[in-house]
Amino acid sequence: MSQSMRGEGAELIGKVLGRRYEIIERIGGGGMAIVFKARDGFLNRRVAVKVLRAQFADDEDFVRRFRHEAQAAASLSHPNIVSIYDVGEEDGTYYIVMEFVDGETLKDRIIKAAPLDPQEVVSVAAQIGQALSHAHQNRIVHRDIKPHNIMIAKDGRVKVTDFGIARAATTSTLTTTGSIVGSVHYFSPEQARGGLIDEKSDIYSLGVVLYEMLTAKLPFEGESPITVALKHVQEQVVPPNQADPKVPEGLSRVVMKALRKLQSERYQTVGELLRDLQRAARGESIPEVPPDLSPTLIVQGPLVPRGKGRRMRPAVAGAVRWAAIAVAGLVLIVGLRVVADWFNVPTVMVPNLTGHTRTEAETALANLGLKMKIVGDGEYNKDVPSGAISRQDPSASDQVKEGRTVQVWLSLGPKVVPVPNLAGRTEREAEVLLQGANLVRGQRNTDYSNEVQENYIISQSPNPGTELREGAAVDIVVSQGPRPEAFPLPDYSGETWQNVQVRLSQVKLVTGDLSTQMSERPIGTVLRTVPVAGSPVRPGDKVSLVVSRGGYTTVHTYLYTFSAPTDAPQQQIRVLLIDALGTRVIYDRLHDAGDPINFEVKWIGTSGTIRTMANGKEIGTVPLK
């Protein structure tokens, strides 16, 4: 099976980057990088790891832009901006470690529920705006605001991500000649023209996002990215309340001002836009925005008489004639150059389109002078999200002539299958049924059952007949047979506590807490149990022991203080106490390297010893007297 069919980045699953970040699964991707869910083994938390696509690792420009994303985002600290934790490189793999947001993209939300309720639109836009306002105050322009780069956590919090093409807001903030940076449907006119980009460019893109949330439509659509880009420059936006009459007039006017073609006519700051949004949400009046007419330049000379009794006519100045001659000469030169170029068509390398949306692929190909054709009605693919490209022809990295058409197949996402009935089956039978349905076994739990034979399945989740995506997990509960009959707890008093532990395990009982009490009986002798002897118990129940510490009247206290070793990122620290009661574990926890550790040790007798273990290796002893 080809790499594109398995899903790009599959080779990284299970790999540990930087001896710390274990890659778990792919959760997204863009034109420059793939995003994975990972576990930070050092801090034991979930993180997102963005990995630069392999085909760009040797391209200094892409590596520079990738590192710039980390620098740009890391310089910002705001609750509505995804935090950057780390950045690194390992064996040619460049990666950024960032905050993991458990939720969905705004694009997912729009696809599922748009047009959104106006109150929700205002809430989401306000949080996006607060993030942008913070970035702009730090002289950073995002330049690629779109629903795909906005995460909505399960608690409703909005997070802006992907500062990969952000730039400092200076006069040098221009698009690169010959390539348009950003996403064409959310472009500002100045981005489409290759002009000066500033904070008001982000405001325009936010206006497009607002438009899409309110109407479930984009301001401009077209058959190619170039067509859409030209519409941003030349065509009028249909007001949101005309595209959908349910959109309140005030919100429609806010959007239309954000979408003005000229930067000077838009909101000048995000704060101004947010204030009008709040006013519109309260039902207050918002000034009407006049039509955004593209100016038409008319060249006209002074009026001179044509002759006696004749109408006046405009004079054609000599400068205009010379300009016409110059233009004609330029056209001739360009024409000759074009004819020459017909015989020397340059070649380009086909980009990897797998996992990208149709719009992203069209933009990437158009920037290289290539075309795109969608083949068929789609195909199921569990590794590629629905609507994204699952495979392509020619393949990625192939060299082709400019103007070539690249065929692509769109993914329908994982195939949906009904969950089989697993009740009453053995685990092996259940695994065969799940494999046949392209599902996997999930969590395994056990329970007692008087109806279902031991080692057979009692129940499952989800229920039989539920439709799941291929590859999804089904949890099962396996029978342990009938619940054991209760029996009276034996009387263990007078025995050593070590011996009682063995006897409890023999009847499938679990040793619980161990406490001590002064007694005339020898040290370590069991005085009583909790519950008391004769109480009804079943296998699996916990029994605590009260043990004699002899006739000692003093319980000694020692303050034990040390630091976890630093020879490994994490250390399993176990402390054993040896005193008159014998040997027992008094501390067993996982610590980060260098963590300070201190606690009170209570011991009895005339002497004792504390032994400390780190990751199974003894690192020191302390005598007690």
Q: Mind telling me the catalytic residues?
A: 144
8 Å CB contact between 454 and 481: yes
Q: What phi and psi values does residue 520 have, to the nearest 5 degrees?
A: -75, -15
CA separation for the pair 143, 80 (Å, rounded): 17
Task: Give me 6's structure tokens.
Answer: 């398995």
Compute CA distances 567 → 24, 132, 471, 570, 614, whole Å: 26, 42, 40, 9, 10
> Tokens 């070590």 map to which residue?
498
Bridge-based pairing state of the strands 510-517 and 536-537: unpaired
CA separation for the pair 307, 300 (Å, rounded): 19
CA separation for the pair 252, 5 (Å, rounded): 44
8 Å CB contact between 168 and 140: yes
Q: Is 557 helix (H, G, I), strand (E, B) or coil?
A: strand
Compute CA distances 505 → 483, 488, 510, 528, whole Å: 18, 15, 6, 17
Of 144, 150, 107, 142, the C-alpha closest to 126 is: 150
Task: Give me 485's structure tokens.
Answer: 């009959």
CA separation for the pair 49, 97 (Å, rounded): 5
**What is the DSSP annotation of 93-143?**
EEEEEEE---EEEHHHHHHHHPSPPHHHHHHHHHHHHHHHHHHHHTTEE--
CA separation for the pair 291, 16 (Å, rounded): 56
CA separation for the pair 22, 12 (Å, rounded): 9
Q: Is 226 helix (H, G, I), strand (E, B) or coil?
A: helix
CA separation for the pair 67, 526 (Å, rounded): 65
* Strand runs labelled E in 462-519: 467-469, 473-479, 487-488, 510-517
Task: Give me 560's structure tokens.
Answer: 């034990």
Q: What phi and psi values does residue 266 have, to the nearest 5 degrees?
A: -85, 180
Task: Give me 555's structure tokens.
Answer: 């319980």
Compute CA distances 564 → 47, 571, 602, 614, 623, whole Å: 25, 7, 21, 8, 19
Query: In this structure, what is the dihedral angle of CA atoms 24, 28, 31, 32, given to the nearest 10 degrees?
Result: -30
Bridge-based pairing state of the strands 16-17 and 608-614: unpaired
Helix %, strand %, coil % for the chain, to 5? 30, 30, 40
